[in-house]
């Protein structure tokens, strides 16, 4: 089995081995994966963080040898908690922009330095401090992404989809949940009513066929943060999401889930 690591800030994962194919998700800087198949110059990979599968361009990743991979596996990593941050390649003196959720290997808070693929980097600023509680940290991480444009398959401030938002917010708080909304709805415990939900609980929404198509994070006091056109805060009740700009309900509530008791906190870069 071959393993790899993302060496560019964002690596598109595509439905097929073609740059024109639909982007279904993204690997972020430092995220790891295993290689399941190769077709021409394309790699079909399974992301370590959430087992999501897609095709990536090998020019955007690195496949280290066994010795180098062992060093990655043994080295602790820090998750980037800032919505976007800049780092400097200390050898080439070039800047790189890292999205929230990136993995910084061997990160030192004192020097703001870390390593990737044999290169040393230094953050220009310290990482943002998040609240200690998981719920509070998840909410704070989600709110950092306000006004990010909606992008199918996206996972960053520069473009994100609804389940990418909830997954990333939980991830930055040290919590691993699945990638897609329907997958996320399949874990955790059901909350009897949206009025009984706590901040950071997830609300799921459906269409006429009852299939879950949307997810958002509840903030309390009848509010929800979600990605719809952009990451925004709207009102929510037992019917669904009410968009005050459009003056109508845009999403019909299906179920509310508390994922906190059942999530597993694991190193997001570990490959099973």
113 and 168, same domain (yes or no) = no
Q: Sheet containing 53-56: give its strands across.
A: 23-28, 10-14, 53-56, 42-47, 32-39, 2-6, 61-62
Q: How many domains does the chain have?
A: 3
Query: What are 122-140's pLDDT values in tens digits?
Result: 999 999 999 989 999 999 9
12 and 45, same domain (yes or no) = yes
Q: Cα torsion at 171, 176, 178, 184 (round to 10°)?
A: -90
3-state secondary structure of 218: strand
Is the whole model's pTM more than 0.85, yes or no? Answer: yes
Query: What are 157-185's pLDDT values in tens digits?
Result: 999 999 999 999 999 999 999 999 999 99
Q: Is residue 268 part of a domain?
A: no
Check if the beta carbon of residue 221 is closer than 8 Å to that of residue 272: no
91 and 27, same domain (yes or no) = no
34 and 96, same domain (yes or no) = no
pLDDT band per the 50, 70, 90 thresholds, residue 260: confident
Q: Is residue 267 part of a domain?
A: no
Q: Which residues pair with 10 in a beta bridge?
A: 28
Decide which of 37, 54, 70 is a domain's last residue.
Answer: 70
Write down the residue that tokens 């198949």 correspond to: 37
For the chain, the average pLDDT equals 92
Q: What is the CATH number of the domain that holds 153?
A: 3.90.1720.10
226 and 209, same domain (yes or no) = yes
Query: What are 67-93's pLDDT values in tens digits?
Result: 777 777 677 889 999 999 999 998 888
User: In whole angstroms, what is the distance from residue 48 CA to residue 254 CA?
Assistant: 30
Q: Which residues pair with 258 in a beta bridge?
A: 189
């Amino acid at each position: 089995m071959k393993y790899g690591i993302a060496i560019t800030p964002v690596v598109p994962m595509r439905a097929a081995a073609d740059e024109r194919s639909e982007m279904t998700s993204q690997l972020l800087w430092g995220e790891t994966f295993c290689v399941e198949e190769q077709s021409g110059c394309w790699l079909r990979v399974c992301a370590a963080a959430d087992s999501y599968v897609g095709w990536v361009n090998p020019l955007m990743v690195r496949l280290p040898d066994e010795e180098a991979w062992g060093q990655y596996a043994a080295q602790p990593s820090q998750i980037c908690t800032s919505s976007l941050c800049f780092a400097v390649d200390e050898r080439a003196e070039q800047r790189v922009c890292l999205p929230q959720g990136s993995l910084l290997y061997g990160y030192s808070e004192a020097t703001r330095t870390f390593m990737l693929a044999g290169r040393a980097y230094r953050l220009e600023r310290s990482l943002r401090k998040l609240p200690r509680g998981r719920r509070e940290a998840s909410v704070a991480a989600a709110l950092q992404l306000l006004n990010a444009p909606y992008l199918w398959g996206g996972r960053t401030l520069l473009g994100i989809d609804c389940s990418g938002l909830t997954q990333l917010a939980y991830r930055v708080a040290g919590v691993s949940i699945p990638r897609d909304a329907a997958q996320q709805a399949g874990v955790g415990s059901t909350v009897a009513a949206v009025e009984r939900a706590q901040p950071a609980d997830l609300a799921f929404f459906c269409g006429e066929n009852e299939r879950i198509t949307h997810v958002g994070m509840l903030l309390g006091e009848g509010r929800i943060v979600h990605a719809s056109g952009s990451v925004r805060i709207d009102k929510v009740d037992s019917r669904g999401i009410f968009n005050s700009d459009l003056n109508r309900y845009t999403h019909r509530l299906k179920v509310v889930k508390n994922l906190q008791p059942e999530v597993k906190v694991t190193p997001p870069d570990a490959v099973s």
